[in-house]
Chain A
Amino acid sequence: DAGVIQSPRHEVTEMGQEVTLRCKPISGHNSLFWYRQTMMRGLELLIYFNNNVPIDDSGMPEDRFSAKMPNASFSTLKIQPSEPRDSAVYFCASSLDSSGNTIYFGEGSWLTVV
């Protein structure tokens, strides 16, 4: 079975540019999570969706960040405009309601903003 699929795996962009990260959750999973990992702050939840509806976006750092889930098999995390401090690894993860919060992670999108 395919796991959580993220793209791009690596991106280098200039400050001020728009960045869009994409995620395909595991088929049948109905919760989707976006996490950010940095050396300083560790693993932080940015936002999560349940049945395509955003449930908790309190972790989104500021208005430059936005996330959408137009359907059960696709989500995007957008940063506009990007800043150097946004450089991090962004993980998408998914879970099934009946699985007791077991979350399955993608390989991550490694973002560098210069």
Chain B
Amino acid sequence: AQSVTQPDIHITVSEGASLELRCNYSYGATPYLFWYVQSPGQGLQLLLKYFSGDTLVQGIKGFEAEFKRSQSSFNLRKPSVHWSDAAEYFCAVGARGSQGNLIFGKGTKLSVKP
């Protein structure tokens, strides 16, 4: 069965510092991979996605993520965090070849210190 693990429930970083949010997945083949962001009181917004090809994926707001098949990981990174990045981040996997739903991780809440 597919599953997604985000091991960090809450992370605090200083503004301007680098960020890495971890995501590990369990799936029998290479899935579709996604990162979404949710600001307080808002819906989920797609940051980036990996389908195939280059394993380093660029997204919106200066985020990137790297798919590492050997580690079953899809970690999200940003070189310099801004206060407006404070939000909750969700990693998700989807099964290739089906039009089913996405399986979401529990989320990582990011706080940014001035």
Contacts and interface: CB of A to CB of B under 8 A. Distances in A.
Contacts of A56: 100-101
B43 A101 contact: no
Interface residues of B, number: 23
Contact of B94 (A42, A50, A91, A101): A101
A67 B98 CA distance: 22
Interface of B: 32, 34, 36, 42-46, 49, 51, 90, 94-96, 98-102, 104-107
B101 A45 contact: yes
A49 to B, nearest CB: 10
A29 B50 CA distance: 20
Contact of A101 (B90, B100, B104): B100
B61 to A, nearest CB: 17
Given A91-B44, A107-B42, A107-B43, A101 B106 contact: no
Contacts of A48: 100-101
A15 interface: no
B43 A105 contact: yes
